[in-house]
Amino acid sequence: MSNSDVFQDALNRVREIGADADINPEVVESLLYPKAVIKASLPVRMDDGSTKYFTGYRCRYNDVLGPTKGGIRYHPQVTGEEVQALGLWMTIKCALLRLPYGGAKGGVIVQPKELSPMELERLSRAYVRAMADFIGPQVDIPAPDVYTNARIMGWMMDEYEAIKRVRSPGVITGKPVSLGGSLGRDEATGRGAYICIRELALKQDWQPEKTRIAVQGFGNASYHVARLLQKDGFKIVAISDSQGGIYSDSGFDIESLWKEKQSSRQVRAVYCEQSVCQLVEHKEITNEELLALDVDVLVPAALEGVITNDNVKSIRAKNIVEVANGPIQTEAEAELEKQGVSILPDVLVNAGGVTVSYFEWVQNRGGYPWDLEEVRSKLEVQMTRAFEQVWKLATTENRTFRNAAYTVALRRIGEAVTSHGTREYFREDE
């Protein structure tokens, strides 16, 4: 599915769920158009002395609930349409978690693996120079996303402060802890997803040792969710990255796989004891084969649009938990529902990242850092409360989890829109 299709798919989902949940049409209409989108050319001096131009985007999608919030991704397939779709999803996500934020997103068309560290820094600073009047701690707060990290956020904050001539740690979240970042931010998305799966398992009486899980993608978020699930006794039988994956019916040791991934940049089936690692029995599989595995839980944790009409008939998992944003195309989701597949949606599952980013912003504004246990405890409260609200609505009103999550979020956005006045207020004489 193309990135333009991803945005139209996101809009269609809002229309359909809004109509089904009897949301005021003005509220739905307000979510079909981004508030502002900026596209900029970013000149970067390369190490060989030449100047190369990269295209950068930033979308402030909706700010009815507060300043906008969303990550910045570096990827060769970034488009304006993709950024808008991600901004819309972030709007829903923040409303669902009761965060005082709207949604935003940004990106640069680049293959970051082809840049040197110094070129990467120059690109990051160029992005902020282009966006300095578009972002701000009370306006729009960026964060890390695909192929960006805490170091890059530190460069961006430093550049913003140099331009504005003011100390402003709250302009960026996901920073290094030494520069005002929050403890627990690196694990937040994965920990939030783990909490959702754990709560679902409790509701449905799963036995961890008999629950087989396949994870597509092996980045920071998927590492933490897999690590925490394995610690609880769940069996992680398959893991993949963009190059391919591995499968073993007996499961893998996630810490060993992660250690090997960091050193070799490959997903390899190993078991490590201290510094000694050895290969374990496994089968090499493709990402498509991983999606089609006969497992209890499938966790798509890579990029959007990986489950489509072309491969939906091959899905055999009875539960899908979306750690990635928008991994399932709407038409494919309709087919999965016919097959009886339960889908825990991205706007709930991966909301741990933006939640702890909010905690970081609060700490920056208050000038008072929290310890790790306080961050984890507050995240636990936020995620379990949101899960319970979605579960209750889904089970009492016979809705899908996605429909329930969007309904909760749309109702909250609707309350804010209605407070400004809708047609019913201004034409009450009718």
Position 4 pLDDT exceeds 70: no
CA angle 373, 377, 382 (to 5 degrees): 150
pLDDT band at 268 (very low <50, low <70, confident <90, very high): confident
Per-residue model confidence as pLDDT tens digits over 80-93: 999 999 999 999 99
Task: Look up tokens 């805490």; give the residue.
Answer: 150
Residue 184 has pLDDT above 90, yes or no: yes
Amino acid at 351: A
Can you tell me the distance from the alpha carbon of 158 to that of 308, in angstroms, rounded to the nearest whole number? 41
Average pLDDT over residues 307-314: 94
- Which amino acid, one-letter code, is at 325? N
Active-site residue, selected from the candidate residues 35, 69, 93, 105: 105
- 105 assigned to active site: yes
Domains in the chain (CATH in brackets) are 3-10+32-170 (3.40.50.10860), 188-349 (3.40.50.720)
Token pair recorded at residue 142: 């960026």
DSSP 340-366: T-EEE-HHHHTTHHHHHHHHHHHHHHH
Q: What is the pLDDT of residues 191-231, one digit of tens each?
A: 999 999 999 999 999 999 999 999 999 988 999 999 999 99
Chain segment 24-82, per-residue pLDDT in tens: 999 999 999 999 999 999 999 999 999 999 999 999 999 999 999 999 999 999 999 99
429 pLDDT higher than 70? no
Q: How far apart are alpha carbons 403 and 75 in whole angstroms?
A: 30
Q: Rounded to whole angstroms, how far apart are CA atoms 91 and 75?
A: 22
Q: Tokens at residue 72, please?
A: 């910045």
Residue 109, classified by CB atoms within 10 Å of its CB into exposed (0-12), middle (13-18) or buried (19+), is middle
Nearest-angstrom CA–CA distance, 167 and 157: 9
pLDDT at 424 over 80: no
Question: Per-residue pLDDT averaged across 375-403, rounded?
Answer: 96
pLDDT over 90 percentage in the chain: 81
| CA separation for the pair 264, 60 (Å, rounded) | 38
What number is the average pLDDT over the span 377-387?
Answer: 98
Report phi then psi at 24, rounded to 5: -50, 125
Q: Helix, strand, or coil here: 279?
A: strand
